[in-house]
Structure 1
Amino acid sequence: MKLLLLEDDAVLSDILLDFLREFYDVDYAFDSHEATTLLEQQHYDLLIFDINVPGKTGLELLKEWRDFHMTTPAIVITAYNDISYLTQAFKTGAHDYIKKPFELEELHSRIENSRRLFNIEPSNILHITDALTYHTQTALLHNGDTTYTLTAKEAAILHYFLTHPNRTVSNEELMQNLWNYDDMPSDATIRSHIRSLREMLGKELIATVRGIGYRFEKSPS
């Protein structure tokens, strides 16, 4: 499970990183600029944003990425006691909120609850179907007795589909979440990646929604 922590308090961030990295793969950003760079380069399963950070606030940054169709779950942490910040956090797109000071185990419990709510796989091995297994760290896809090595972009698209199953994902959403601003692909490039994934996964898992995008059909466990 890959997390992005945005926190400008050096002491608190060190404590949080030492604790969270016992359980998760965690990237760290001191300010909104560093967080933006990481969000452009990586896919995250969960965001943990402090509100009062240098540059854009955590809520401003979250809103900006929500406007780009990013649906990654987000926990907001803050020292503010004013209820208006809680209201604003939920309106912006946070799904949970934790006030400082807090116990480390409380944050851990909230992260685990987020994992359950959003069906985030806790391991690096994702079981797509009885025959299909995907290893996120090695980008190896096993389909029965056949093993495929995914390219970086194929791996990113597959991971996005796996974390956003059974809903329509537009080309624009894929572009905004998986490509840098200065390296946006054409629709033909996305179609090429989808075609390659279908050849490895089987055509039935990725449905085309004509004129909109694609839908990854994942049966409930």
Structure 2
Amino acid sequence: MHVDDLLVLFVNENKDDENKISNLLEKTVNRVILASNAKESLNQYRKHSPCLIIIDSDFKDNSLVELLKEIRKDDLKTAFIILTKNKENRYILDLMELYLTKYILKPFTNELLSYSLNKAMEIIEKRIYSNIKLAKGVFFNFQTQSIIKDDKSYVLNKKESLLINLFIKNPNRIISYEEIEYHIWNNEVSTGAFKSLIRDLRKKTFKTFIKNISGVGYMLNTEK
């Protein structure tokens, strides 16, 4: 995979620099899709499935932060690059939790943007083609959304995949019951269905793979 293979969604709220940046991107990557706000960006993301999203914004509100959060619920493969002239961005901590490839303060050089594109390409390759170690002898493959244990592959259903991705995004953190309910079902769910999801995922890994923190939630047990 090379930089000129990248399909990029460029979300630009700063029209002053639009031509400069989009022209540079068009000379470098395979294709550039343009959007100017969160709603349009989400539609373009769903339509084209870009492998890189570049956002140029001053972040006067959190609409684009919420956009990236929405995308990250199901998608850990797509790389994010932020361009901004806002040196006191109050949403920076929220953004850093979304696995940014690069956070660039403006003005910046063409060389820095080119470097960031190459970095994004490397990260995308690793996320697509590499297995992530979850515990001793247990790996997760992003491309196939499957668990690999003792050289055997177990394909996950949609809810199992969502839960594993949630744990990967929140390493070493207890995830509350309520957060899991919202992320997986987007509303309340029966106790039976909740326990069934945990039980089925444990069967594909090992019994103590998902630790229950009584009265609080669950976390991954990375030590078998």
How high is the TM-score relative to the length of structure 2?
Answer: 0.61
Where does structure 2 lack aligned partners over 5 or more consecutive residues? 1-6, 13-17, 97-102
Name the residue aligned to 2:161. Answer: 155
Name the residue aligned to 1:218. Answer: 222
Distance 1:109 1:101, change over 3 A: same
Counterpart code for 2:220: F
Counterpart Cα distance in 2 of 1:197 and 1:19: 42
Between 1 and 2, higher relative CO (CA 8 Å, sep ≥ 6) is seen in: 1
Q: CA deviation at 1:94?
A: 3.3
Over residues 148-196 of structure 1, what are the superposed CA-to-partner deviations in whole Å (9 max), with x where a residue is unaligned?
Answer: 21112211211221232211112333345455xxx53515333322221
Maintained 8 Å contact 2:87/2:105: no
Distance 1:67 1:105, change over 3 A: closer
Over residues 23-82 of structure 1, what are the superposed CA-to-partner deviations in whole Å (9 max), with x where a residue is unaligned?
Answer: xxx998542014456899xxxx99753215xxxx575125557999x899975313x3xx
Counterpart Cα distance in 2 of 1:195 and 1:18: 50
Name the residue aligned to 1:98. Answer: 105
Q: Is 1:186 paired with 2:189?
A: yes
The residue correspondences of 1:118-133 to structure 2 (distance < 5 A) are: 123-133=129-139
Name the residue aligned to 2:55. Answer: 49
Q: CA RMSD in A?
A: 4.6
Name the residue aligned to 2:99. Answer: none
Name the residue aligned to 1:107. Answer: 116
Distance 1:213 1:35, change over 3 A: farther
Name the residue aligned to 2:209. Answer: 205
Q: CA deviation at 1:204?
A: 1.6
Q: CA deviation at 1:123?
A: 3.8
Larger Rg: 2
Where does structure 1 lack aligned partners over 5 or more consecutive residues? none
Maintained 8 Å contact 1:75/1:94: no
Percent identity, aligned pairs only, is: 21
Q: CA deviation at 1:207?
A: 0.6
The residue correspondences of 1:39-78 to structure 2 (distance < 5 A) are: 48-51=54-57, 57=59, 59-62=61-64, 64=66, 75-78=81-84
Q: Secondary structure at the match of 2:222?
A: coil
Q: Secondary structure at the match of 1:161?
A: helix
Counterpart Cα distance in 2 of 1:187 and 1:27: 41
Distance 1:144 1:92, change over 3 A: closer
Maintained 8 Å contact 2:167/2:220: yes
Moved more, 129-138 or 157-166: 129-138
Counterpart code for 1:211: G
